[in-house]
Structure 1
Amino acid sequence: MVIDDGQRRARAGRRLLLAPAGWAARVEEVADAVVGLHASDPATVYLSACARLREPSAAEVDRALYDEVSLVKLLSMRRTLFAVTDAFAPYVSAAAARQIAAKERATLLKHLAEFAEGWSPERLAETERAVLAALAARGEATTAELGADVPALRETMLMSVGKPYEAKQSVGSRLLRLLASDGHVRRCRPRGSWLSNSYPWAPVAPWPEVPVREAKAEVVRRWLASYGPGTVEDVKWWTGWTLGEVRRALADVGAVEVALAGGAAGLVLPGDEGPVAEPEPWAALLPGLDPAVMGWRGRDWYLRPRDVPALFDRAGNAGPTVWWCGRVVGGWAQRADGEVVWRLFEDVGAEARAAVEARVERLAGWLGAVRVTPRFRTPLERELVA
């Protein structure tokens, strides 16, 4: 069975909710459709979700993140922050977040030993218990507020010694992130707008225990359902796991091999080898780090290699992209006066331009007075706002 590039683009349009016919009513539907919303940049969760909602609004995302807490953020796959549904969170925690937390804890202890005084594994564990007790008493609090209850959080480490970006980092900022990866605390509504990086923390009840192997299989099953076909290399890159872990998870879900354009081997779930119907022509304006552009390691079927330098920073972070029928055809940005500006890399025709203009109007409409600057800025985004 061959699944060509056209079929892969059709699948992306339908399964990643990019074609208007598939737009969702609730943000939880969006998060599950893309497996997890990238959350390293606070704006990405909102922009990615609203690009796929029938009625886009920041309030809908706030509802899920902070009112109902049906969407939670976890430092997980590839040591990246993802927002996933509460039902999926136990699997992500067992499959990735706990492993990340263990590595982060070991790294923190190493840094404390090198760049701070009086720290040991026992003191770190004692500090964690004190933080959780303080949070239980307060209900929610910022890292700075917790520092009043647990003074150890205010201690600092000198990081990247001797390098141009040498800086002091508080123990508290690292420790709260650890506790979140372990599933003990969660981020609450930011102090300020939905773009703010200043937020309090709150304790959370433990998630149900899921065996690690079962959890990894479920993560891969969901990825194949949304992003398949993909290669073994795609799955390894997206999860950040070892090749052995990836192969075992693929075997556990019974992944089926198919041929991709050019003869490469791809994988899909059993029963998913057949064609899908082409959606109606569609355009999308997706933010930096959107799951669609960051979903695969091999991107040539939807992104021309020559366009990569304009759309990605040097660390491999994607900037805002313009899509037409499953291909990245340009980029966009928002200027200081609120205008959404965009540029196409090729002539895609009048229908495509009209569709892009409609998405620009839609985006500007729900953003209103909000101004968005990507956390990871790319050459084209900087050029467009200049």
Structure 2
Amino acid sequence: MSSGVPSGGVPSIGDDQRRARVGRRHLLARAERAARVEEVADAVVGLHATDAATVYLSACARLAEPSAAEVERALYEDVSLVKLLSMRRTLFAVTEEFAPYVSSAAARAIAVKERATLVKHLREFAEGWDEPRLAATERAVLAALAVRGEATTSELAEDVTALRETMLMAQGKPYEARQSVGSRLLRLLASDGHVRRSRPRGSWLSSSYPWAPVPQWPDVPVREAKAEVVRRWLAAYGPGTVEDVKWWTGWTLGDTRRALGDVGAVEVVLAGAVAGLVLPGDDGPVAEPEPWAALLPALDPTVMGWRGRDWYLRPEDVPALFDRAGNAGPTLWWCGRVVGGWAQRPDGELVWRFLADAGAEARAAVEVEAARLAGWLGQVRVTPRFRTPLERELVS
């Protein structure tokens, strides 16, 4: 396997075929929409969950009958969808069946780093803390949570007073601030797979939520887990490049290549004679779906699915649709291309702008999708956590 230009005789997959795969495999073409949110999460490997709204908006864009209640069922009633700090140190919502693989392939390594960072900060910026005290506090928190069933960080601090302590960060600097030991410790326990976020106190957009215990998942060998993550990524996003997989997973190049080898990834030629990769047997043509439009939210897994994006996103549109840290804002899609962006104003009105002339059919289809989105949102108002230039402009 190489990341250079493939040799002759290798099958080709052009940009039109890549866009057809997006419409079908990411459940964005109308005929492909799913009945349950678990199907959606598996179709895109995982739903971005850094912004609470993204899980709902991304899922409902792909559901035949969009509903916040359907997403809440999976997250909080059946707990068939769980959130893990994993690939690229990003919070993803993945199916419970897939979670042990994600935990072993990505989340555990991140948890190790999170623990080391927290221990360092406790030693530097708090008094009387070391690794034994941290471990004892974690055990006390888990015991208290087992009794309560679920509880917020502040509620747990009533039982475990060490959670009330703070760390003075950046002392003497303009951005000096105190961080709660409790908030950091609960985030660490979540990274380790011991606790999960339960139903928010308030609307589904609320950032105030209790924690609940998590049954321990089966132990999956790291190499096997990484192979499964890559297999699912290729099934959903393939063809992609080695660089795409490395970026999406956040792994080293060595780990990325090893996992691609373990699943038997085979080369194809992409536009511009670029070497791409697919699963064995997945180099054939995919039927074009009916023309489709979508209003996808900030950080949607499709727009954030590849490092190389020129085949679905014009480079000149990136400054309007992404913030400076590389976070995507809300995007308009037409037949596998990003053609603009959208926003919701404080009065609830959905507004959008085309950045490329997509034609009358696209404009009509976007209006239909906007009405569909407005219908299930109702009185809910959504502002992305990471604001982008076009989104701000549309709202003003």
Which range, TM-score by smaller chain? over 0.9
- Distance in 2 (CA, whole Å) between partners of 1:266 and 1:162 is 51
Give the CA deviation at 1:178.
1.0
Give the CA deviation at 1:181.
1.3
Q: Which amino acid aligns with 1:118?
A: G
- Distance in 2 (CA, whole Å) between partners of 1:384 and 1:317 is 18
Match of 2:301 in 1: 291
- Distance in 2 (CA, whole Å) between partners of 1:239 and 1:346 is 31
Give the CA deviation at 1:279.
0.5
Which residue among 88, 95, 99 is the counterpart of 1:89? 99
Which residue among 243, 246, 262 is the counterpart of 2:253? 243
Q: Please report the TM-score for the alignment, with normalisation by the length of structure 2.
A: 0.97
- Distance in 1 (CA, whole Å) between partners of 2:117 and 2:201 is 29
Tell me, what secondary structure is at the counterpart of 1:342? strand
- Distance in 1 (CA, whole Å) between partners of 2:173 and 2:181 is 20
Matched, 1:116 2:141: no
Give the CA deviation at 1:154.
1.1
**CA deviation digits over 1:317-373, x for unaligned, max 9?**
000000000000000000000000000012111100000000000000000000000
Match of 1:328 in 2: 338
Give the CA deviation at 1:160.
4.0
| 132-141 or 167-176, larger mean C-alpha shift | 167-176
Alignment of 1:308-323 (within 5 A): 308-323=318-333
Which residue among 82, 94, 108 is the counterpart of 1:72? 82
Tell me, what secondary structure is at the counterpart of 2:182? helix
**Aligned Cα RMSD in Å?**
0.8
- Distance in 2 (CA, whole Å) between partners of 1:96 and 1:230 is 20
Matched, 1:282 2:311: no
- Distance in 1 (CA, whole Å) between partners of 2:195 and 2:289 is 41
Identity %: 84
Match of 2:392 in 1: 382
- Distance in 1 (CA, whole Å) between partners of 2:109 and 2:378 is 40
- Distance in 2 (CA, whole Å) between partners of 1:161 and 1:18 is 49
**CA deviation digits over 1:117-147, x for unaligned, max 9?**
1110100000000000000010000001001
Match of 1:354 in 2: 364
Match of 2:6 in 1: none
- Distance in 1 (CA, whole Å) between partners of 2:179 and 2:368 is 44
Tell me, what secondary structure is at the counterpart of 2:325? coil
Tell me, what secondary structure is at the counterpart of 1:217? helix
Match of 2:8 in 1: none
- Distance in 2 (CA, whole Å) between partners of 1:163 and 1:302 is 43
Give the CA deviation at 1:164.
4.2
Match of 2:209 in 1: 199
Tell me, what secondary structure is at the counterpart of 2:381? coil
Matched, 1:7 2:17: yes
Q: Please report the TM-score for the alignment, with normalisation by the length of structure 1.
A: 0.99
Match of 2:5 in 1: none
The unaligned stretches of length 5 or more in structure 1 are none
Pick closer, same or farther for the CA change 1:164–1:235 going to 2, 3 Å.
farther
Matched, 1:54 2:64: yes
Tell me, what secondary structure is at the counterpart of 2:319? helix
Tell me, what secondary structure is at the counterpart of 2:299? coil
- Distance in 1 (CA, whole Å) between partners of 2:72 and 2:19 is 31
Matched, 1:143 2:153: yes
**CA deviation digits over 1:286-327, x for unaligned, max 9?**
000000000000000000000000001111100000000000
Give the CA deviation at 1:166.
3.0
Which residue among 12, 16, 27 is the counterpart of 1:17? 27
Q: Which amino acid aligns with 2:50?
A: S
Give the CA deviation at 1:204.
1.4
Q: Which amino acid aligns with 2:306?
A: W
- Distance in 1 (CA, whole Å) between partners of 2:176 and 2:283 is 51
- Distance in 2 (CA, whole Å) between partners of 1:172 and 1:132 is 13
Which residue among 30, 48, 52 is the counterpart of 1:42? 52
- Distance in 1 (CA, whole Å) between partners of 2:333 and 2:175 is 36
Give the CA deviation at 1:165.
3.4
- Distance in 2 (CA, whole Å) between partners of 1:329 and 1:297 is 18
**CA deviation digits over 1:84-129, x for unaligned, max 9?**
0000000000001111000000000111111111110100000000
Which residue among 158, 165, 168 is the counterpart of 1:158? 168
Tell me, what secondary structure is at the counterpart of 2:109? helix
Tell me, what secondary structure is at the counterpart of 2:340? strand
**CA deviation digits over 1:235-259, x for unaligned, max 9?**
0000000001000000000000111
Pick closer, same or farther for the CA change 1:164–1:328 going to 2, 3 Å.
farther
Pick closer, same or farther for the CA change 1:160–1:296 going to 2, 3 Å.
farther
Pick closer, same or farther for the CA change 1:380–1:163 going to 2, 3 Å.
farther
Q: Which amino acid aligns with 1:94?
A: S
Which residue among 65, 73, 80 is the counterpart of 1:63? 73
